[in-house]
A and B are shown apart, each in its own frame.
Chain A
């Protein structure tokens, strides 16, 4: 079978990813580019006997990158030995703003790569009265040109047949259109052999980017650095000149081939008058976020109840079938409970990402960056941090990964450090369980009361994040230059396919990645709670039975007593008791202690742990966890989960750094253990002190 590697290249907001989704559907894999944590989407499809691999390169404005994402695209286009060096580039340009998209297109062409220029959003362009003479444009640029609308699937077949008929062997590149100064010429001649290329433009770019291109060997890098230093080479000047020179060549061509009859973007302008309004804009942003969270809670309750009911029924149905054995217990209390604990989050995660990706696709997120850049800068962040902070509302991991678009290293570091403070979806189940002990269900002025409590928790987490950020701003010093210069895309209707694929990939990622951890911990917990050192479990049972006989208890009360004494004697009970003195001032007992310890792996494990702790005892009782927690009493006979304890736990979970995966991502992104350690330390301290304060004030 023949194979071909196709790269999708283009500016951010060109609709590249929409085309990628339209071409590959669900046949795509999301991973990382080798050596960096920039998201790499790779998809496959087949045309006859041709196997096509499509790689969605990160969006990029020019061959002069200034963020990690852009560097990835540039690096792989310059490295012919890269495993993802393309046989064919599909360059996606936005037909509604053609000329600025041609800068990178001509740069890629000049690297000697075969390029198919695709004019996306041609339907929108038509609506705006833009007519493009593709023949004339193609001739002038020396590139084949196709008009498509990726969102509506128009022109996809033409692209596919172009790929099918493309023969890499018969492609001959045209010489790069670049005028080198005499100085550049002599520098290029002095370059080490390994960094030279038969393509002058590629070689010239290697000279410009020698200090970071990973495929340049250390000795060559040193040689190039010396060469550059000795010759007073000014990279920026050359790059500005290359950019201007290109615009000077293609702008007249665009003027010849594009005819505009209507005036562009009336609608976007009108909408922006409201959405980016001086003070209405921020208010609308908060109202939108408020609606997003209301939607999460009102839409998810039905599916969540159904999932909860399903797993309760499954356990009840399995129990008599499997009989009494530790294998049966493992299966029901470990495995089934574990799977249930993962699946229960799916509705909320799906709804959150559904709404966030609609806002992103529609172009609203860039407006949020504009609205809050000034505020963010005051606390040491960048406007781009808004995207990370909003994503943190779902999960700190993608949020921390999204900070790569923040070019300023101090602003980026602070964003990474504070992102996990924003309440993520993993806290939702913890909040769901605990809020019920603090706020009774019902409505307040027509709004769901528990929904309002959630909003309050989220706002508190946002305030905490901004304050923490401001403190870090005072501590860290930096001389680096901070910049914004952000393109604001036109509003557009989100593509349903892209939104659904986004939701699907996030849910899948959660179920598989977080699910693995939750599942393993669920089983480990079951074991810790079911076994104890030596014959301590048997002894505990004996003592409990004797006590029950003395007190004339009935069978069910005896079973409960036996279960709770056995749990106390188990490894889990011992561990919980060991830390009890430390957490007692926060209002917690050893059972909560177990849950705190296990949720240092992942917060949502709290719920699983509580479920395991309370169902390991009387295993024939399938009442829901919340009822069991309500029935739990302190030694003095008052409810264990009173308002003070529940509030204290809420505050603890609000602030604590209980997620191994986030720490791992922070390490990966900062390349130092210092930062995850700091993140863990400051958040744990904040959680402990906050919970202590709340409990002592309320109890």
Chain B
């Protein structure tokens, strides 16, 4: 599953990136495999994602979120 399809408000754990460019940029911003993320909301225009993660908050486009593979956090 990738992050763009994840429900709003639910936590997810990043398992990896399907794109190195997106991965390099996100990891430099502190979004890393093994970290928990959650989509807070989506923008009215274009559905840009407002994502909270362990190292802060990031605005990510839907096609970029599609490059982040995620899974359900272990309970």
Chain A residues in contact with chain B, CB under 8 A?
Answer: 61-62, 64, 66, 97, 99-100, 103, 236-237, 239-240, 243-244, 247, 268-269, 272, 276-279, 281-282, 366, 369-378, 383, 481, 483-490
Contacts and interface: CB of A to CB of B under 8 A. Distances in A.
Contacts of B22: 483, 485
Contact of A375 (B42, B45, B64): B45
A239 B28 CA distance: 10
A370 B43 contact: yes
Contacts of B42: 278
Interface in B1-49: 20-30, 32-33, 40-48
A374 B58 contact: no
Contact of A373 (B27, B28, B32, B46): B46
A281 B45 CA distance: 11
Contact of A281 (B27, B28, B44): B44
Nearest to A489: B56
A375 B46 contact: yes
B57 A373 contact: no
A contact patch SS: helix
Among A66, A236, A487, which residue has the most Cβ atoms of chain B within 10 A? A487
B28 A371 contact: no
Nearest to A94: B56
Contacts of A236: 20-21, 24
A100 B30 contact: yes
A485 B20 contact: no
Nearest to B29: A487
A466 to B, nearest CB: 12
Contact of B58 (A269, A375, A485): A485
Interface residues of B, number: 32
A373 B29 contact: no
A166 to B, nearest CB: 29
Given A244-B27, A484-B59, A374 B21 contact: no
Interface of B: 20-30, 32-33, 40-48, 50, 52, 55-61, 64
A487 B55 CA distance: 10
B27 A371 contact: no
A282 B46 contact: no
Contacts of B57: 268, 272, 487-488, 490
Among A377, A383, A485, which residue has the most Cβ atoms of chain B within 10 A? A485
A13 to B, nearest CB: 9
Contact of A243 (B24, B48, B52): B24
Given A239-B24, A277-B41, A378 B46 contact: yes
29 contacts: A64-B24, A100-B29, A103-B27, A240-B24, A240-B27, A244-B33, A247-B32, A276-B40, A276-B41, A278-B42, A279-B44, A282-B45, A370-B48, A371-B45, A373-B43, A373-B59, A374-B45, A374-B47, A378-B45, A378-B46, A483-B64, A484-B61, A484-B64, A485-B58, A485-B60, A486-B58, A486-B59, A489-B56, A490-B57
Nearest 8 CB-CB pairings of A with B: A374-B46, A100-B30, A374-B45, A375-B45, A370-B59, A61-B28, A488-B57, A100-B55
A370 B60 CA distance: 8
Contacts of B46: 373-375, 377-378
A464 B23 CA distance: 37
A327 B58 CA distance: 62
Nearest to B26: A485
A488 B41 contact: no
A485 B32 CA distance: 14
Given A278-B42, A374-B45, A487 B56 contact: yes
B50 A370 contact: yes
Among B32, B40, B45, which residue has the most Cβ atoms of chain A within 10 A? B45
Contacts of A373: 43, 45-46, 48, 59, 61
A247 B21 CA distance: 17
A483 B61 contact: yes
Given A370-B43, A374-B46, A240 B23 contact: yes
B51 to A, nearest CB: 9
Contacts of B41: 276-278
A485 B41 CA distance: 15
A66 B55 contact: no
A243 to B, nearest CB: 5
A66 B58 CA distance: 17
Contacts of A372: 43, 45
Given A66-B25, A240-B23, A99 B30 contact: yes
A68 to B, nearest CB: 16
Nearest to A247: B32
Contacts of A61: 25, 28-29
B44 A243 contact: no
A103 B26 CA distance: 12
Given A61-B28, A66-B25, A488 B20 contact: no
Nearest to B47: A374
A279 B42 CA distance: 10
Nearest to A96: B56
B43 A374 contact: yes
Contacts of A375: 45-46
B2 to A, nearest CB: 15
Contact of B43 (A240, A278, A481, A487): A278
B56 A97 contact: yes
A383 B59 contact: yes
Contacts of B47: 374
A66 B27 CA distance: 14
Contacts of A378: 45-46
Contacts of B43: 276, 278, 281, 370-374
